[in-house]
Amino acid sequence: MVICAASNNAGKLKELRRILERMGHEVKSLRELGIDLDPEETGTTFAENARIKAKAFCQASGLPTVADDSGLCVDALHGAPGVYSARYAGHHGDDAANNAKLLHEMEAVPAEQRAARFVSAVCFLLPDGRELLVEGECPGTVAFTETGTNGFGYDPLFVPDRVGLPDGTTAENTARRSYAELADEEKDAISHRGRAMEKLRAELPAFLGEQ
């Protein structure tokens, strides 16, 4: 199946493409499809924003479309930055500014109170209007400093509780490595987006009437 990946975020597109192609689908980016849209994300939940993006890009592409809305929810900040994760510092997509603001807001928070979770809502929408919505979470903590380069967004600051292993299982993240220090396979097995996409993989055949 040819699927439109509804994201202008290069890092997110890379993850969506990697996971969907592993499922056997062909993924087309917005650039490859010649689509230049920036739908306003007015939802108050990740699911609402994923649905908004899926509808806009499905209509523009005429293809089955997968859209993700995700973010970091920090307990000490009462769930912030949440749905405003990408524009936490005021400008959409400024990772450096967002991370700097998060570190500033968490400056006085002790290690035992830095619990957080990444949340991902994925909406798969067909041109006929049928929709499949799944969500995934990854618990962890907010680090005191940024580490790693294999990631984007808040990845250098987020330390997941567990990491993926080559056999498909997971293990406790005893080395306290950040998302951005994990290899793709280690991250996909435990990441919020990886878990949401695994649910999508499991539910998609029945949704498409293939079984």
The amino acid sitting at 196 is A
Q: Is 69 a catalytic residue?
A: yes
Closest CA to 118 of 153, 168, 149: 153
Question: Which pair of structure tokens corresponds to residue 19?
Answer: 């996971």
Phi, psi values for residue 123, rounded to 5°: -110, 125
Q: Do 41 and 68 touch, CB atoms closer than 8 A?
A: no
pLDDT at 92: 86
Question: Which pair of structure tokens corresponds to residue 77?
Answer: 């900040």
Phi, psi values for residue 67, rounded to 5°: -130, 140
pLDDT at 210: 60
Could you give the C-alpha distances from 53 to 56, 88, 124, 194, in angstroms and in order? Answer: 5, 19, 10, 19
Contacts 24+ apart (CB under 8 A), 182-188: 182/148, 182/150, 182/151, 183/150, 184/18, 184/150, 187/150, 187/151, 187/163, 188/15, 188/18, 188/19, 188/164
Catalytic residue among 68, 69, 155, 188: 69
Map out the domains of the chain with their CATH numbers.
Answer: 2-207 (3.90.950.10)
pLDDT tens, 166-196?
A: 888 999 999 999 999 999 889 988 999 889 9
pTM: 0.88
10 exposure class (CB count in 10 Å sphere: 0-12, 13-18, 19+): exposed
pLDDT at 211: 42
pLDDT at 59: 96
pLDDT at 58: 97
Q: What is the pLDDT along the chain (211 residues), one digit of tens a residue?
A: 899 999 888 878 888 888 888 888 999 999 999 999 889 889 999 999 999 999 999 999 999 999 999 999 999 999 999 999 999 999 888 999 999 999 999 999 999 999 999 999 999 999 999 999 999 999 999 999 999 999 899 999 999 999 999 888 999 999 999 999 999 889 988 999 889 988 998 998 899 886 4
